[in-house]
Structure 1
Amino acid sequence: MTQKLSSDSTPTQRQTVKFITAATIGTITLILSGLTLTGTVIALVMATPVLVLFSPILVPAGIVLFLAVTGFMFAGGLGVAAITALTWIYNYVSGKHPPGSDQFDHARMRLANKARDVKDRAKEYGQYAQNKVQEASQQTA
């Protein structure tokens, strides 16, 4: 039994190769990230005087560029939304069954029922008001 425990606790050759591979890849990645950080800091130190010198031009240009890109993205998004909506409407009108058409039909029927109820109530109220006017005119005559 003790012999089995000792054979389970010793790493196999495959586990050793996995560990060495992971350690090598991790070390290389760490070195590359350090070199990238060093290069970024050196580039920032070299570019800082240029950025400070041209900041009165670069800041407004950056703002204008940001607003222009945002405007184009917004307009493009609205165009995509419009095309999507028109496609859905076309599919709905042409008799196809686009997603959400059941909910749309249900809402349309509820709205039509409410409009019919309001119309009936207005008609009843109109008749009620007309009767009251007739009663008032008969009492004064």
Structure 2
Amino acid sequence: MADQTRTHHEMISRDSTQEAHPKARQMVKAATAVTAGGSLLVLSGLTLAGTVIALTVATPLLVIFSPVLVPAVVTVALIITGFLASGGFGIAAITAFSWLYRHMTGSGSDKIENARMKVGSRVQDTKYGQHNIGVQHQQVS
């Protein structure tokens, strides 16, 4: 009977310690989440405050310097657009000259001629194939 009592008490103490550990873990998880969330919320608030202060300071400067900034931005945009267009046209020209060189030297013309012959033969096959089908259809009727 004493053995049964000890076993019963051990089981109760084990159950209570097993229940205490998950609760402790949940408390630690909750505390960590609250700490991390609170820290991020504070950082978010500080960032918002800094942004509002920066806009408050920068707005008068933008208004004062807008006659200079707007033409400067337009000029920079035009310069960038010009360089990009020039580069694009240059690449297109190099590609065209490369194709022309390959075509004139014969390294690319064989491929083009072979492709032209294949397309021509397919057209002929299709043309005569449909003609033959029409002739066969008339003969059957």
> Is the TM-score greater than 0.5?
no
| Larger-gyration structure (1/2) | 2
Please give the TM-score of this superposition, normalised by the length of structure 2. Answer: 0.45
Higher helix share: 2
Please give the TM-score of this superposition, normalised by the length of structure 1. Answer: 0.45
